[in-house]
Chain A
Amino acid sequence: MRKFFTLSSLLALSLTACGAGDNGPIKLGMISALTGDAAAIGADQLSGVQMAIAEINAAGGVNGRQIELIAEDGKCAGADGATAAQKLVNVDKVVAIVGGLCSGETLAAAPIAEAAKVIMLSPSASSPDITKAGDFIFRDYPSDAGKTKAIAKYFADEKYSRIAILSENTDYSQALRASLKKDLPEGAVVFDENFDPGTKDFRSLLGRLKDAEYDALVSNPNSDGVNAVIVQQFRELELPGQIVGTDTMDSVVIAQIAGEEADGVMLVNVPTAGEGTSFEADFTAKNGDPKSSIAWAAYSYDAVKVLAQAFKAVGTDGMAVKDYLYSMQPYTGVIGSFHFDGNGDPVGLSYVLKKFDDGKVVTVKPLPLE
């Protein structure tokens, strides 16, 4: 497969060398973390994007034009995000960028895309700062605000009034934590700790939790690997109460690692990010098991499809695509139905409560937001 991509990108390169007019391929850029701490997520995003493009191209492309992908490594760092954006915008002259993965690289890349009137559509940046990053900056990743309202609703339904939060010290987890604390009632948070990125020993921290009076623990790390360790050590210490996770908990890896200990863990996420659908089957057939979670592939896949829909309707001019995206009818993709609000954040995604049951993630009930 990899050889195929190498070949195809070589081919694409030689094609572009022949000069691309309005009939040449549409160049779509991508910024993701292909190395570094978040590389597992980056790999899944890349696969999702490649899958969407392969499908579009196989179906004849957008108005007869093929889509060509140029993926750049932003390493989840500001400097590399900016360099990647500079290259995509000024060298490759892409018409839009899918990315970046982390909020840091997205925020550094955003001014460059904004200045060049190139659309950026991030499939995973969650920071509240993205909202104000610019007119050309969109995301199809649910903003923390909706997700944490759903969590708060779940807690209210279950009468969990004393909440413990355990967050990794990364931009993703911290943004979620801040949003969650805003949505929970006054005084509900009885335990609120951050840990160093990559920590894998939580025994003492969880031991302290034993003494705290709490009903539910929100496990809020940046990756499923750390979530697995938290679940394992939580169970090892025989702590009472409910573990609740979000996106990073929605991963089969946790069940593989923690086994039956994962059973009973709850999580709040969008209804489906592709699990159990034909999307997942196609993905697995092409790429094998996702490295982190199918969800990252799904958000990226939808991002490409939304952009392709926009290109089809209004062409590839940045201004036109921007206006189209702001006024777009709800788009139904793998992750659900959504459209963009005036800040480029997705609206319309609903949330459900899911649960680990016998090594699988099953949906328990929807969590409708008023």
Chain B
Amino acid sequence: MQLLANALIAGSLAALIAGGLALVYGVLGVFNMALGQLALTGGYIAWWLHQVAHLSLFVSVIGGLISGALMTWLTFEVFVRPFYKHHRFLPLVTTIAWSMILDGLILLVFEERPRSILSGGKSMIPIGSALISKEQCIMIILTIASLLLFAWVFHCTPFGRKLRAVVQHESAARSLGINSAVLHRVIFIVSGVFAAAGGIFIGIDQNLSPTLAFSLTIKAYAAIIAGGKGNIWGAIICAYAIALLEQLLVGIHWFGAFYVPAGYQQTVALLFIIGILLLKPSGLFRSVSRTA
């Protein structure tokens, strides 16, 4: 029971970052390796607003999200847009460059010490046999709500239909009068807002340190690749699945005989994708798309 709660906490964080990214990957087909750094930037700015500028938590969180959006916009204009039409793999390398620059900037501006947005103890609520804090409850609910809303917009509204049209066949969508360039930008920024939300999540639930970024990025991509290209549901489900697997792995006495050493916790989750991809090279939930 506690394991499930733990998986919900960790999974919500992963899903938050992976959800927006799945859309970017599905529509633009590009990788954004600076995603983890963008998430951290959002978290750090929220921390700064709350702990240094002493604004209220709500304002700080909004500020963090907005700054996340702005940073992602910058990322898009400088590191993605000049390249992705050329070849969709070029942004992969440019965003690695951007992630190094951001790493350096985070070190210079926010320094190395750990930062926590909310300090102090958390009041725990027992749910069944599990203990979960108030903040965690709120964050899990907000995450699931925003992801559901997001997926609903994508799958069930006219705007979502436009998005999906661009995913399926870009030039056809354009000939139908859909402004795909603007859509690309919007999608990219949305993914940045989700990432920043993830960074704030970390800052509230745990604490921020400059070296977290890489594992965030990798886990998000693991979920996306395993979930199937362009399938948001798949990415979200896989993000939760990976988190659950991570928790089960170290938390369960396997076959009543042994525990998996905790040092393998994160790796095994990544190897999980390997299993899936080898069985189904196009991902667990392949999007059913018509081919022209």
Which residues of A pack against B, CB within 8 Å? 35-37, 39-40, 43, 169, 193-196, 198-201, 203-205, 207-208, 210, 223-225, 228-229, 232, 235-238, 253, 256-261, 291-292
Contact mask B211-251 → A, CB, 8 Å, 1/0? 11001000000000000000000000000000000111011
Provide a sorted-by-A list of 19 A–B residue pairs whose CB atoms are within 8 angstroms.
A36-B211, A43-B111, A194-B262, A196-B265, A198-B215, A200-B202, A201-B246, A203-B5, A205-B262, A223-B209, A232-B122, A236-B124, A256-B119, A257-B207, A258-B119, A259-B120, A260-B120, A291-B113, A292-B112
Q: Which of A198, A210, A235 is packed against the most chain B CB atoms within 10 Å? A: A198
Size of chain B's interface in residues, with CB distance under 8 A? Answer: 39
Contact B207 A208 (CB under 8 A): no
Contact B207 A203 (CB under 8 A): no
Contact A257 B262 (CB under 8 A): no
- B251: nearest chain-A partner, CB-CB: A204
* B2 at the A interface (CB under 8 A): yes
* B158 at the A interface (CB under 8 A): no
Contact B207 A35 (CB under 8 A): no
| Chain A contacts for B10, CB-based, 8 A | 201, 203
Contact B251 A208 (CB under 8 A): yes
The 10 lowest CB-CB distance pairs between A and B, nearest first, are A259-B120, A225-B114, A40-B112, A204-B251, A203-B6, A204-B247, A200-B206, A257-B116, A193-B262, A194-B263
Contact B113 A225 (CB under 8 A): yes
A196-B262, A196-B263, A228-B116 are known; give 13 further A-B pairs, CB within 8 A: A39-B107, A39-B210, A195-B265, A198-B209, A200-B212, A203-B5, A203-B9, A205-B262, A235-B121, A253-B114, A259-B121, A261-B120, A292-B112
Given contacts A208-B259, A257-B119, contact A225 B250 (CB under 8 A): no
**Majority secondary structure of chain B interface residues (helix, strand, loop or mixed):** helix
* B256 at the A interface (CB under 8 A): no
Contact B3 A207 (CB under 8 A): yes
Contact mask B112-152 → A, CB, 8 Å, 1/0? 11101001111010000001010000000000000000000
Q: How far is the CA of A135 from the CA of B265 in the complex (A)?
A: 40
Q: How far is the CA of A84 from the CA of B207 in the complex (A)?
A: 32
Contact B251 A292 (CB under 8 A): no
- A254: nearest chain-B partner, CB-CB: B114
Q: Which of B9, B107, B113, B124 is packed against the most chain A CB atoms within 10 Å? A: B113
Q: Which of B107, B111, B262, B265 is packed against the most chain A CB atoms within 10 Å? A: B262
| Chain A contacts for B248, CB-based, 8 A | 204
Q: How far is the CA of A193 from the CA of B114 in the complex (A)?
A: 23
- A169: nearest chain-B partner, CB-CB: B263
Instruction: Say how far B210's CB is from chain A's closest CB, in angstroms.
Output: 8
Instruction: Say how far A243's CB is from chain B's closest CB, in angstroms.
Output: 14
